[in-house]
């Protein structure tokens, strides 16, 4: 059977040849790759588009002079670094399906803005911060119950590098400052992770996206089960051994931390808007009482309370980190912080100040730029070096992109 043939301009190549060429393009540069080849790779990996001749010359000169960092930052001046590379990097974090094609939203725009402005990246889990489009763009105003503002930016292919401005969630959505927790309290995150359920999804996907581990990786059956809610059966399927040897391993640590979300809900019209497209993040502020719980706690925290009536009943948003001891002490918690607190903001600070958080961001950037996970001792040493630099130099994520591009640019 003849190979399928693909046209490239006026040239016809067999698909087998095209596949070979694609594989070659992904191989490491040869040992004698010079500054121009290295500059081209750095630009391709960071911006995702070819550099102009002028930019390539400038980058190559910087590399020749021993300043690969300047070359990387020049590549990141290209608007495609923000609208393509960063957008595609962040978007999967905003939804449970990890869909890279999800629309631009306040979660994605905020991380892009934080990266652009060298804001301390820990703010993504605790800051009263959000990025919106310039008012001069004549966009629909930011709204708490739709994504029209960001959808219009995407439809018009707005330059995100030039047209995102920093604001506060308090200013644009009215959320009390003490209730803001970075991307966790954006509308996009609420729609994906606070909608329905018991708010455990927000905690689980925060672990996946920002701590690089799912709950299975944190199971520790040695922790006390005293804060596990009523909806968790102590004898699933009639077998208490399953709870003792499996369920308790995740819930004993998760439930005390997810209590920080007790006052949050994604509210929407379940009959006329079953997908929650026009829903909004609601928060029970001081003085508000949920009619079902009699406290500020959302009713969802009492879902299936008859599964085990003697389980923990959530009365407020006080969280405790039971994982500071036991197997998960190796996540590198900041000992200068308290082991408990109130609300999502302080819980986000607890996560973001861990060694695991910093290392997770570095590993994600490394994979994005180098197109692979760390593979050998040299890669792992580089991850350690970049993590240390990230933590000691203001948690600037753009610098991690630059360092990764430099490391993976190829040898001279």
* Helix (DSSP H) and strand (DSSP E) numbers for the chain: 18, 8
**C-alpha 120: how far from its chain's center?**
14
Instruction: Please tell me the predicted confidence (pLDDT) of residue 8.
Output: 37
Other C-beta atoms closer than 10 Å to the C-beta of 306 total: 8
Instruction: Please tell me the predicted confidence (pLDDT) of residue 33.
Output: 80
The token pair that represents 206 in the structure block: 């925060």
Instruction: Please tell me the predicted confidence (pLDDT) of residue 411.
Output: 63
Residue 377 backbone phi and psi in degrees, to 5:
-65, -35
Instruction: Average the pLDDT over 196-218 and give the result.
Output: 98
For residue 236, give the 3-state DSSP assignment.
Answer: helix
Beta-carbon-side half-sphere exposure of residue 247 (alpha carbons within 13 Å): 17
- Which residues touch 151 (CB under 8 Å, ≥6 apart)? 103, 104
Between 25 and 111, the higher pLDDT residue:
111
In angstroms, the CA 84 to CA 307 distance is 47
pLDDT for 7 beyond 70: no
The token pair that represents 290 in the structure block: 């949920």
Q: What percentage of the chain exceeds 90 in pLDDT?
A: 91
DSSP conformation letters of 316-353: S-EEE-GGGSGGGGGGT--TTS-SEEEHHHHHHHHHHT
Residue 242 backbone phi and psi in degrees, to 5:
-65, -40
10 Å CB burial of residue 120 (0-12, 13-18, 19+) is middle
- With cut-offs at 50, 70 and 90, classify the pLDDT of residue 119: very high
- With cut-offs at 50, 70 and 90, classify the pLDDT of residue 200: very high
pLDDT for 24 beyond 70: no
Instruction: Please tell me the predicted confidence (pLDDT) of residue 32.
Output: 62
In angstroms, the CA 133 to CA 164 distance is 5
The token pair that represents 276 in the structure block: 């929650």
130: left (phi over 0), alpha (psi -120 to 50) or beta: beta
User: What are the C-alpha distances in Å from 318 to residues 134, 205, 340, 347?
Assistant: 37, 20, 7, 9
In angstroms, the CA 189 to CA 379 distance is 33
Instruction: Please tell me the predicted confidence (pLDDT) of residue 10.
Output: 35
The tens digit of pLDDT for each residue in 288-325 reads 999 999 999 999 999 999 999 999 999 999 999 999 99
Is the CB of residue 49 less than 8 Å from the CB of residue 65? Answer: no
User: What are the C-alpha distances in Å from 257 to residues 33, 242, 292, 294, 386?
Assistant: 50, 22, 22, 22, 29
Instruction: Average the pLDDT over 360-376 and give the result.
Output: 97
């Amino acid at each position: 059977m003849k190979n399928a043939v693909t046209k490239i301009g006026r040239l016809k190549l067999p698909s087998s040849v095209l596949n070979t060429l694609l594989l070659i393009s992904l191989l490491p540069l040869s040992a004698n790759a010079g500054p121009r080849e290295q500059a081209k790779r750095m630009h391709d990996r960071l911006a995702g588009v070819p550099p102009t001749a002028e930019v390539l010359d400038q980058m190559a000169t910087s590399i020749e002079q021993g300043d690969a960092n300047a070359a990387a930052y020049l590549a990141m001046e290209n608007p495609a670094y923000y609208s393509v590379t960063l957008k595609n990097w962040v978007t999967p974090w905003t939804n449970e399906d990890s869909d890279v094609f999800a629309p631009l939203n306040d979660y994605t725009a905020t991380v892009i803005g934080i990266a652009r402005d060298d804001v301390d990246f820990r703010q993504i889990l605790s800051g009263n911060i959000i990025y919106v489009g310039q008012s001069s763009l004549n966009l629909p105003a930011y709204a708490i119950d739709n994504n029209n503002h960001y959808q219009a930016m995407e439809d018009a292919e707005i330059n995100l590098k030039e047209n995102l401005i920093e604001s506060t969630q308090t200013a644009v959505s009215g959320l009390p400052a003490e209730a803001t927790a970075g991307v966790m309290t954006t509308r996009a995150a609420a729609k994906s992770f606070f909608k329905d359920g018991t708010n455990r999804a927000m905690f689980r996907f925060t672990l996946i996206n920002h701590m690089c581990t799912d709950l299975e990786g944190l199971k520790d059956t040695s922790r006390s089960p005293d804060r596990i809610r009523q909806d968790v059966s102590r004898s699933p399927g009639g077998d208490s051994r399953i709870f003792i040897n499996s369920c308790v391993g995740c819930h004993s640590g998760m439930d005390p931390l997810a209590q920080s979300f007790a006052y949050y809900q994604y509210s929407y019209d379940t009959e006329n808007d079953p997908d929650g497209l026009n829903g909004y993040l609601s928060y029970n502020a001081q003085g508000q009482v949920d009619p079902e719980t009699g406290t500020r706690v959302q009713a969802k925290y009492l879902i299936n309370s008859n599964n085990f009536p003697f389980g923990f009943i959530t009365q407020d948003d006080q969280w405790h980190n039971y994982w500071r001891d036991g197997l998960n002490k190796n996540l590198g918690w900041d000992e200068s912080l308290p082991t408990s607190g109130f609300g999502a903001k302080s819980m986000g600070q607890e996560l973001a100040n861990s060694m695991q958080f910093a290392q997770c961001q570095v590993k994600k950037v490394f994979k994005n730029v180098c197109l692979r996970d760390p593979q050998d001792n040299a890669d792992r040493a580089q991850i350690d070096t970049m993590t240390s630099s990230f933590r000691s130099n203001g948690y600037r994520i753009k610098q991690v992109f630059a360092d990764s591009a430099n490391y993976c640019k190829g040898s001279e």
